[in-house]
Structure 1
Amino acid sequence: MITNNPFNNTHTIYFLRSTIIIQRHIKHFIIRKFLTNIYNNLPTSSPIDNRWPSCLKCFIEVNEELKRIFHKWRCYKYRQKLDQIECNKMHEKAIASTIFKDKKLSYARSVPHIFCGDYIKLRQNPKWLKMSHETYEHYIVFADIVHKINRSDGSFVQKLLVVTTKGLLIIDYRTLEAKYIIPAFEIIQISLSPFSDGIVAFNIKPHEKSQKGDFMIISNHAIEITSKLYLVILNICNKPPIISISPKFQLNLLNTKLNVTVISERSPIDEIFAQLPKISKKANDMNIII
């Protein structure tokens, strides 16, 4: 007759308990080592620092979640340090990304550049101060010299383009005489090409008193102009303008329409705005070769 040995049973129970305790300590040790490694190798507090510690396969999901939480926290801390002006600049950059990312070739080059707004220090110009009081256009969002494209023959004329919190102005840069004063609510569409160029077309709401119609400009800051004007129109009208990014668009010239086609002969790696584009016009068709 076989009998159970009490000693053997007790030994087995202690062995199983010991195994569980050892496994638990090993698991805790591995987790502690994983967390300690992250703590000792955290990236900087800069939101653009993409470094993050590697881990074992079993921690990949947790590791990614910790990375997301840490990045969200440092973005929050970074935003807390910004004043209202810096927050506005970041908002403009975010709008530019929404509008142009993967849609316009020149967008990627604009990302590291700060939107300066007033490139010619117009705010300090006595003539502007006088004109702003007469037109009630006080706060400058953007100001720079641009090339306005003549719709009749495709020639270029240098003008001063100013975006204010109320709308858009085209001004003679020598005399500061206003040629166009366009309230924000009258700008219904902004058209651009998908290429590396600075062509911007403004489509204006038809108006009985208007004798101007739509118009085009070329600027080194097409991305910035569009982004800032987009926000101005959104703030005033509670809805954004239509943004069209296409090699073909149309301008309304009083009772006629002008069909514009932008043709790119430039390599994507060529420097932007090396020279002004070539323009040919026949009847109601205009080809812009960049």
Structure 2
Amino acid sequence: MPTTTMSPMDNSWPAKPYGFLEGAHTQLRRIFHLWRCKKYRGQFTEEKKAVYEEKLEASEIFKDKKALYPSSVSQPFKGDYLEIQKNPKYQKLNSAMEEKVLLADLVNKINRANGKGSPRLFLLTKSNFVLADQKTGQVKASVPLPDLASVSVSTQSDGFFALKLKEGSASASKGDFLLSSEHLIEIITKLHRIGTTAADRDQINIDISDEFLVQFKQDKVCVKFIQGGPKNGNSAACKRKNNRLLEVSVPSP
């Protein structure tokens, strides 16, 4: 047995004793690596497999495309950040959900008039997403996922994302949602994954750009991301510049 570990990442392999064994030596190394990978995969529960599949999907969506992504790699996807099933504060809201809550998080809903954020509870199931009042748990909006056309994010290290609704859908009457979250990578990965696995709807498109349009009632508003100075602190800040522009200042790296 070669003096290598059982880690699939271990590339060490003993030198061949004789030159004429080159072919056999290479094949044995390949066979041992495949066996080691199989043993490693065999340790995974279905739950652990799902976690790694989500992380892989996050990589496919965001790697080398969004500056926030690298910092998320080592962070496990927790899903329920509110402990919605245990917290008595959210008992009424949890019981109102018709399906299992896949993600529960505290987000900021960006006010369309001035760009300031208001805290909201964000819940995601296989069929819809819900925004609720942080203090009372009262549902403010419930949107079926088939009404969601796409998601837009910047290339930078901020947590802002726009949920853009299909024109003509019942949910689109009040306009798109501009939100921010510390768990943007996980939220969008889960949204994308649900769309990928659902047979009754199209996959959700993810648009990564530093300038995109959102529909606020009757108006189309441009959301533009710029590099800000130290005066903005460590977090991104959003301001309404005029009727057609929301500007997000992101701290320089």
TM range (shorter): 0.7 to 0.9
1:232 to 164, 187, 194: 194
2:216 maps to 1:256: no
Q: Letter of the aligned partner of 1:265 in structure 2? A: G
Matched residue, 2:206: 243
2:88 maps to 1:130: no
Matched residue, 2:166: 205
Return the offset for 1:278. 4.0
User: 2:238, 2:246 within 8 Å by CA — same for their partners in 1?
Assistant: no
Q: Secondary structure at the match of 2:174?
A: coil
Q: Distance in 1 between matches of 2:211 and 2:193?
A: 24
Q: Letter of the aligned partner of 2:184 in structure 1? A: A
More strand by share: 2
Task: Encode CA deviations 1:207-246: one digit per residue, 9 max, x unaligned.
Answer: 4644321111111111000001111222334531111001
2:153 maps to 1:174: no
**Cα distance change, pair 141–282 in 1 and its aligned pair in 2 (3 A):** same
Q: Letter of the aligned partner of 1:184 in structure 2? A: L
Q: Letter of the aligned partner of 2:213 in structure 1? A: Q
Identity %: 31
User: 2:2, 2:14 within 8 Å by CA — same for their partners in 1?
Assistant: no
List gaps (5 residues or longer) in structure 2.
none
Matched residue, 1:281: 241
Return the offset for 1:65. 6.7
Q: Distance in 1 between matches of 2:64 and 2:26?
A: 26
Task: Encode CA deviations 1:124-157: one digit per residue, 9 max, x unaligned.
Answer: 1345443344341x31111111111112210111
2:46 maps to 1:84: yes
Matched residue, 1:45: 6
Q: Distance in 1 between matches of 2:58 and 2:181?
A: 16
User: 1:149, 1:157 within 8 Å by CA — same for their partners in 2?
Assistant: yes
Normalised by the length of structure 1, the TM-score is 0.74
1:111 to 65, 73, 98: 73
Larger Rg: 1
Task: Encode CA deviations 1:75-96: one digit per residue, 9 max, x unaligned.
Answer: 3322322222211111111110
Across the aligned residues of Structure 1 and Structure 2, the Cα RMSD in angstroms comes to 2.7
Q: Secondary structure at the match of 1:140?
A: coil
2:111 maps to 1:150: yes
Return the offset for 1:62. 7.9
User: 1:151, 1:215 within 8 Å by CA — same for their partners in 2?
Assistant: no
